[in-house]
Amino acid sequence: MIKTTGNGLDWPKVLKASQHFGADLYLVSASATPKVSPLAAPWMPGRYSLTDFSLTDEPAFLKHYGGGREVALLVGCMDQRFARPLYNWAVDTNPRLFILPVFVAAGICQSGDPNRLQAMRVIAQYCLEKLNVKKVIASGHNCGCGGVAHIMFKGQKVYEALKCAAGDKKENTYMQNAISVSVNEIFDRQQRRIVQKVLVAQSGEKINFVTFR
């Protein structure tokens, strides 16, 4: 396992890692401007939210999230259905923590692509190193994650590849496993103590936030 903890993590590396996810917009035919600064909340439902670190700079970023502030790093999928509801849930359930949103295609579930995994690792480890991160909320979602479809199934919808219905238990189990695998690859044992794993699970009209170990 490649580790980037310790030294050598600087803002240019974070920018490069963020750029690596820049093409995620083309995974979806998103017509609106979906890039969003890590200093801002994701867009409202109906619009994708791709976090782009080049929309801020390091002094502004550290001023916003640093200074001893207790932060929760929230990693989620840019999906237009789930990004904002997930953010709102994170804010509501962590009233004492300042939420730092990082939204890219597939959320935390990057483990099928070594370069994407490494890019997410750089971003997460930079935040853990520079900020007072009390919690990491590591998430993925059901009902057809386009990012995971791209990474794992050559674009085929996850539930179709699994031969089940969208939001079926089989898809949920697959996504929970994908979250766990990536968490294990991005964070070391010590860091995993503060990781909360969450499946954003749509069922009919309702969105549930399923935390699991």
Site residues (vs Zn ion, CB under 5 A): 77, 79, 145, 147
DSSP 68: T
Instruction: State the sign of the Cα–Cα–Cα–Cα dihedral 164, 165, 168, 174.
Output: positive
Rounded Cα–Cα distance for residues 16 and 204 (Å): 38
Rounded Cα–Cα distance for residues 139 and 56 (Å): 24
Instruction: Pick between residue 86 and residue 100 the one whose CB is nearest to Zn ion.
Output: 86
Instruction: Pick between residue 50 and residue 145 the one whose CB is nearest to Zn ion.
Output: 145
Nearest distance, CB of residue 205 and Zn ion, angstroms: 19
Buried residues in 88-110 as b, exposed as e (16+ CB within 10 A): ebbbeebeebbbbbbbbbbbbbb
Nearest distance, CB of residue 107 and Zn ion, angstroms: 6
Nearest distance, CB of residue 49 and Zn ion, angstroms: 11
Nearest distance, CB of residue 141 and Zn ion, angstroms: 6
Token pair of 114 as six digits: 């070594």
Instruction: Pick between residue 79 and residue 171 the one whose CB is nearest to Zn ion.
Output: 79
Instruction: Pick between residue 14 and residue 145 the one whose CB is nearest to Zn ion.
Output: 145
Instruction: Pick between residue 52 and residue 65 the one whose CB is nearest to Zn ion.
Output: 52
Nearest distance, CB of residue 131 and Zn ion, angstroms: 25
* Start-to-end C-alpha separation, the chain: 22
